[in-house]
Amino acid sequence: MAMEKEDEDLVQACGIYRKAHPKIQKLTEEINRAGDIQEKANKAQFLWDEAQALIDCEKRGTLAVCPACGTINQVRKQTAELILRARKLG
């Protein structure tokens, strides 16, 4: 998958992303395993926070991989937002 390749490139190229990557992976796995929407939403809020922190990164725009990082983390934020909205729907 193209996104997985970009994710690997980011891990290699950026120390900030490399540090955040294990936590993001863990949250994503926990969301995928969660049994109900409340449990998914609790994890999704943390995923949103992590993605936003990377979007607001102090190195933003200084590395060749910054645009890919922004795109990947926008997708993560949008996914988290969908889960949070689903919780509100019941």
Residue 67 CA to its chain's centroid (Å): 14
Domain carrying residue 46: 2-89
Number of domains in the chain: 1
What percentage of the chain reaches a pLDDT higher than 90?
73
Whether the CB-CB separation of 8 and 59 falls below 8 Å is answered with no
pLDDT in tens, 35-76: 999 999 999 999 999 999 999 998 888 988 899 899 999 999
Q: In whole angstroms, give the CA distance from residue 72 to residue 29.
A: 16
**What pLDDT, on a 0 to 100 scale, did the predictor assign at position 1?**
45
CA-wise closest residue to 70 among 53, 84, 87, 86: 53
Q: Indicate the DSSP class of residue 79.
A: H
Residue 40 half-sphere exposure, CB side, CA atoms within 13 Å? 18
